[in-house]
Amino acid sequence: MKKLNGKLKHNIAVFISGRGSNLKSIIKYSLKQNSYYTVKEVISNKQRAKGLIIAKKKNINNHFINFTKSKQLGNKVLSILKKNNIKLVCLAGFMKILPSYFIKSYNGKIINIHPSLLPKYKGLDTHKRVIANKEKYTGCTVHHVNVYLDSGRIILQKKVRITKKDTAKSIEKKVLKIEHKIYPKAINKVLTNL
């Protein structure tokens, strides 16, 4: 934990699998005066994830670890988190289901962002399903992670309107824009209550 502008900042870790667009917005927000966190670790289960390049450029510790494969690797991740005094783990486009032993080890301190208005449309292909069901609204949800898929307590939600012209691709862009706005705020909110 370090101080910035007289405020205590908690260390967080961001888990990614891809381009790191949410990671970018989380890092950007961490530099603001009203932020309660600093991004200390970035961990990816994909070796070529573009988000790892973002972390390197920002001089943030980063690792490729496909740790869901074995408990030994999971323990390695837990030791990295412990060593760096990580207060919160933020899943941002992390496309692996965390093993239950890992979730229990970091109980209450793992959050995720999901591209739907949970509890609706858990899992994958949310935008296609939203269109197929002729929904008028969709959005995104930041929630606590528990051992059940996309079922943890909701922290923040934001919705967007779906127009008749929308496709799965255009909805994805709309939702991603609001993800970038609400995820950093949700992280701040959780850290003020830890």
Residues labelled as active-site residues: 114
- What is the amino acid identity at position 86? I
Tokens coding 16: 């990614």
User: b/e per residue, 19-39, with b = 16+ CB within 10 A?
Assistant: ebbbbbbbbebbeeeebbbbb
User: Which is it for the CA torsion 129, 135, 137, 141, positive or negative?
Assistant: negative
Give the residue from 167, 184, 168, 153 showing the smallest Cα distance to 21.
184
d(CA 75, CA 79): 6
Instruction: Yes or no: say if 2 and 9 are a contact pair by the CB < 8 Å rule.
Output: yes
Tokens coding 52: 């790892």
102's CB contacts (< 8 A; 6+ apart) are 67, 74, 77, 78
d(CA 6, CA 2): 9
d(CA 174, CA 185): 18
- What is the amino acid identity at position 22? N
